[in-house]
Amino acid sequence: MNGRFHIPPRLPFRIETHGHGSQRQKLTDIFVQIGNQSFLPLPALARHYSLQGDKPFATGNHLEQINGLGSMAERWAKNLGKMTGRHDLSRHTLLPFRGVFGRTTGLLTRRRRWCPLCLYEDVESGGRSYERLIWAIDVVQICPIHHVAFEDSCRTCGKRCTREMAIRQVSGLCEGCGRWLGREEVDCDFEDDDPRYVFERWIAGGFAGILDMPDAEVENLCLENISLMVRAGISTVGDGKAVRFGVACGKQKSVISGWQSGQVVPSLQTMVSLSWRFSVPLNAWLSGRTQAWEDASLRASPFGMTRSNVRRSPRKPDLEKLRRHLTVEVEKKAPARSFAEVARGLSYDPSFLRRKFPTLARAISKRYTHELLLAAASRRQEYQELIKSTAAEVVKLLVKAGKVPSRRSVEAMMSERGVPVRRADYHLLRAAIANRQRR
Ligand SMILES: [Zn+2]
Ligand SMILES: [Zn+2]
C-alpha cells in the first residue's frame, strides 16, 4: 500500500427504515429485513454479529425484548447499528421511553401481531409492507389508525404466531405458509359505540400519542411528571383534597399520597385507566402537561377488556358453581373455547381453575385443540385443492404457449398468482404436469 489508493471501510449491510412516530418500524422487523435482503438465515446472522449468544432462537430467549427498553434492546440496537452504519436504531425500540416505563413489566406482547389493513395500505401506496413498534405493545389491542383488532394468526394456513420472531420469518409474511398477511378488508366485531370498543380506541390512541411525541419532549419524560399530574388532579378534580381525588379514582387516600409524593408510581394498567377515567391523554400524564386537567371529565370505569380484572386470589370461590360452569363448557355444542378464554369469562385465573378442576380443565383444553386440528386439516385440504386446480390451469397455459411445463416454471407462475407452493406439495405439481403429458 503506498497510501494513494485507499478503499474506505464498507458496511456489511444497507437498510432503509420505515415510518415515524407511532408508525415507526420495530427493531425485530429491521433485523428480519436485513436477513431477508441479504438472503442470510436469521440465526446465522444473529450468531455472527453476537446479537444473542449461540442459540439466538432458543426457547427462553424473550425475543420480544429486542423492541423493549432493557439491555437486550440496547445490545441489538447497538450491534445492528454497527452492521448498518445507523446510530438511530434505538428509536425503533422503547428505549427512548425508559424514563417513564423503565420499571414497567409486561409492556410487550410475546407474540408477533399485525394489522392486516396497515400491511395492505403500505403496498397499495407503492411501498413495501413493514411491521410497526406499536403492534408489539401488549395493552394496545387494536390498530390506532384502522381501529381493527390486531391479528396473530394467518388466515390462509391458520398458523398462530407464538413468538415475536421465528427462524424463517419474512417481514409481512406468514411464518408458516409464506403468504402475505395484508388484507384489503377486515370485519370489525364491535358496534361503534360499544363502550369496550371506545375504551380500546382510547388506549390505542393514547399509545400512538406517546410514540408521536416530538424528540425534545421525549427527552424530558420522567416519573416526577406523574406525581406532578396527580397533584394537579387533586387541585382541579379533587378541589385540593386528596381524599376526594381518591374517590374519583376509586383508590384509598394512602395510595394517592404515595403517588403524590412520588414514592409509589401507578402501574401502567392504573395509568391507562386513570387516563380513561378523566379523559386526560396518556402523553399528558407522562410529560406532566397539567393544562390537560382543564378539559378533564369523569367517565365510568373501563371494564371487560383489561387483564387486571382477572382475580388472582379469589377470596371465597363458589367451587360448586364453578364446577357447573366448567361442566357445561365441556358438554355444550357451540364451538369450543380455549381454557384461558373460559377462565377469563368466569373472571378467574386459569391456573387456579386448573388446580381445582384438573380433569375438567384437561377436557376443555382437549376439545379446543381437537377443533383447532380439525379446522387446520380442512384448511389444508382446501388449499391443496386450490393448488391442484391452479396447477392444472397453469400447465395448460404453458403448453398453449408452446413451452414444456417444468415443476420450477409451474411453481413460479403459481406464486405470481398468489398461490405459493411448499416443498411438501411439489408432488401435486408433478402430478399436474404428468397428467397433461398423458393426454
Ligand atoms: Zn392498521
Ligand atoms: Zn400462513
pLDDT higher than threshold 80 for residue 209: yes
pTM of the model: 0.68
Dmax (CA) of the chain = 90
Handedness of CA 377, 379, 383, 385 (dihedral sign): positive
> Could you tell me the distance, in angstroms and rounded to a whole number, from the CA of residue 234 to the centre of ligand 1?
37
Angle formed by the axes of helices 242-249 and 224-236, nearest 10°: 100
Percent of the chain at pLDDT > 90 equals 41
Which ligand has the shortest distance to the CA of 152? 2
> Which whole-number Å values give the CA distances from 305 to 2, 102, 309, 365, in the listed order?
70, 24, 8, 22
**140 Cα–ligand 1 center, Å:** 12
Domain ranges, ordered by start, for the chain: 11-188, 219-295, 321-439
Instruction: Give the cell for residue 41.
Output: 438465515
Report CA(145)–ligand 2 centroid distance (Å): 24
| Backbone dihedral angles phi then psi of residue 137, each to the nearest 5 degrees | -85, 120
Distance, CA of 336 to CA of 334 (rounded, Å): 6
Q: What is the pLDDT of residues 68-113, one digit of tens each?
A: 999 999 999 999 999 999 999 999 999 999 888 877 778 999 999 9
Asked if the 219-295 domain carries CATH number 1.10.260, the reply is: yes
Looking at residue 418, its pLDDT comes to: 83
pLDDT over threshold 80, residue 34: yes
Ligand nearest to the CA of 122: 1
Q: How far is the CA of 137 from the centre of ligand 1 (A)?
A: 14
Grade residue 303 by pLDDT with cuts at 50, 70 and 90. Answer: low
Q: H-type helices in 250-406, by residue range?
A: 253-261, 268-277, 282-287, 319-331, 339-345, 350-356, 358-400
